[in-house]
Amino acid sequence: MSKLVAARPQIGIGGCRVPDRAKQLVMEVLNSNRLSAGPMIDQFERQMAELHARRFGLFTNSGTSALQIALAALKERHGWHDGDEVLVPALTFVATSNVVLYNGLRPVFVDVEPDRYCIDPAQIERHITPKTKAIMPVHIAGLPCEMDPVLEIAARHDLRVVEDSAESMFVRYRGRPVGSMSDIGCFSTYVAHIITTGVGGFCVTDDDELIVMLKSLMNHGRDSIYTRIDDDAGREGQALFEIADRRFSFVRLGYSYRCTEMEAALGLAQLETREADWRRRQTIARRLCEGLAPLADHLQLPAERDGAEHAWMFFPLVLRTGAVERAAVIQYLEDHQIETRYLLPLLNQPVYRQLFGDLEPMYPVAANLNRRAFYIGCHAGMTDEEVDHILDCFHTLFRNHA
Ligand SMILES: Cc1ncc(COP(=O)(O)O)c(C=O)c1O
């Protein structure tokens, strides 16, 4: 690698520049001496619920914890047994199916669409057994799944649905926001996601009973009478005693999955700029699509979906058969300061091979993507010059291999 090439800062999968507004809100938190769930978290939860057309939002310390307690709440409410099955896409971030295992349930994989990488509705029904209890569609890279057939199948087989929307926020599928089309929708606010609070995640739901269970589950399994330190505010007499009496009562096996006011402050600042940030992601995605279109013989570019918006968390690409080997492409891009990730390979992960053996032959689309797919960044912090650099690199790479 030449020194000249190395001099450029890396073009990351995500970019983090904490805006002044976020610093101001974090300072408000610090000056208030209130770090545990308070007004910032309340407001963040209210706004996230509203933006996703839900009655309730719950801020947790990760997308994974949000997904884990979503399944735990449904398992408890519906009386699922250990070993019951949950359908998950054969290509997704490992957390989607890990949370099924954390809950003593069995992930059953469903192959994905070859061009959009989300769960393939046409493949779902052949995996349904008497033990199947739920489906977890994942809105990959910001693109909503084809939800209508997923929901129709779920309704016909009486399955619950948990949307893993860790990679998508705010966008709509046939008029409905991601996260709003299921029993519980879950998001992540981890680094490089649509909004970033360092660590963080969300459950959103419309269900009065589920939100109480979720609050309890993220809070050591506490009695619902007291899951936040303000729950006794303004109470007196018998009502106050009742809280005091049950404040330290734990009614289920729960977890410690709380966030602080500081993460919420970071999130609130980004809600203010979310539309401008999304427009910037769209512009970058459009420039990448247009600029890479002449290389369509080598590269499968991301496809959008009729009736759906795209949040563009990242920019997925698949090398066509006979094109350059993926290793050579990744090496070239990384050498030229373009960060890459493989496109969410799951079934070939060492830990999944240990747990399930070699499943790839049953999932030809995911298996192919595990070998040929990768992604690069597509975020609001990228400059036009960086997009030009990415395009130049791809054109040079394929010209040299033509
Ligand atoms: C599809 C999907 N699900 C779940 C997660 C987990 O979120 P977190 O890293 O906040 O735990 C991620 C994170 O990258 C993800 O992409």
For the stretch 92-131, pLDDT in tens is 999 999 999 999 999 999 999 999 999 999 999 999 999 9
Domains for the chain: give ranges and CATH numbers: 3-14+274-400 (3.90.1150.10), 20-271 (3.40.640.10)
What average pLDDT does range 78-103 have in this prediction?
98
Closest atom, ligand 1, to C-alpha of 199: 10
Lowest mean pLDDT among 210-214, 231-235, 295-299, 374-378: 231-235
How close is the Cα of 202 to the center of ligand 1, in Å? 11
Which of 71, 93, 138 to probe ligand 1 with, by most ligand atoms within 8 A of CB?
A: 93
What integer pLDDT is reported at residue 2 of this predicted model? 47
Q: pLDDT tier at 243 (50, 70, 90 boundaries)?
A: confident
| Atom nearest to 188 CA in ligand 1 | 10
Confidence of residue 402 (pLDDT cuts 50, 70, 90): low
390 and 338 in contact (C-beta within 8 Å)? yes
Distance between the two ends of the chain, CA-based, in angstroms? Answer: 22
Spacing of C-alpha 210 from chain mean position: 20
On average, the pLDDT of the chain sits at 95
Per-residue pLDDT tens digits for 64-73: 999 999 999 9
Percent pLDDT > 90 in the chain is 90
Both tokens assigned to 11: 């073009």
- Contact 263/189 with Cβ under 8 angstroms? yes
- The predicted pLDDT at position 17 comes to 86
Measured in Å, residue 384 CA sits from the centre of ligand 1 at 28
- Which atom of ligand 1 is nearest the CA belonging to 189? 10
Q: Which of 58, 60, 167 to mutate to test the pocket of ligand 1 (most atoms within 8 A of CB)?
A: 167
Tell me which of 7-11, 288-292, 307-311, 398-402 is least confident: 398-402
In DSSP notation, 47-99 reads: HHHHHTT-SEEEEES-HHHHHHHHHHHHHHHHT--TT-EEEEESSS-HHHHHH
Question: How sure is the predictor about 6, in pLDDT bands with cuts at 50, 70 and 90?
Answer: low
**Can you tell me which atom of ligand 1 is nearest the CA of 190?**
10
Which residue out of 58, 59, 64, 92 has the highest number of ligand 1 atoms within 8 Å of its CB and is therefore the one to mutate?
A: 64
Using the atom order of ligand 1, give the atom closest to the CA of residue 138.
1
**Residue 192 CA: which ligand 1 atom is closest?**
14
Q: Under a CB-based contact definition with an 8 Å cutoff, are residues 172 and 180 in contact? A: no
Between residues 370 and 245, which one has the greater pLDDT?
370
Residue bearing the CA closest to ligand 1, atom 7: 63
Predicted pLDDT at 152? 98
Residues 214-242, mean pLDDT to the nearest whole number: 90
Pairing between strand 85-89 and 106-110? parallel
- Residue 173 CA to ligand 1 centre (angstroms): 20
Confidence at residue 1, expressed as pLDDT on a 0 to 100 scale: 46
b/e code 274-288 from CB counts within 10 Å (16+ = b): beebbebbebbbebb
Query: What is the share, in percent, of the chain residues with pLDDT greater than 70?
Result: 98
> Which among 215, 216, 186 has a CA at the least distance from the CA of 201?
186
Amino acid at 316: P
Q: Model pTM greater than 0.75? A: yes
pLDDT > 70? residue 3: no
For the record, the structure tokens of 160 come out as: 């619950």
- pLDDT, residue 245, reads 86
Question: Which pLDDT band holds residue 247 (cuts at 50, 70, 90)?
Answer: confident
Give 23-54 pLDDT, tens digit per residue: 999 999 999 999 999 999 999 999 999 999 99
Query: Ligand 1 site: residues with CB under 6 angstroms?
Result: 62-64, 92-93, 95-96, 138, 164, 166-167, 188, 190, 201
63 alpha carbon to ligand 1 midpoint, in Å?
5
Q: According to the model, what pLDDT value does residue 310 have?
A: 98
Taking the C-alpha atoms of residue 374 and residue 352, their distance in angstroms, rounded to an integer, is: 20
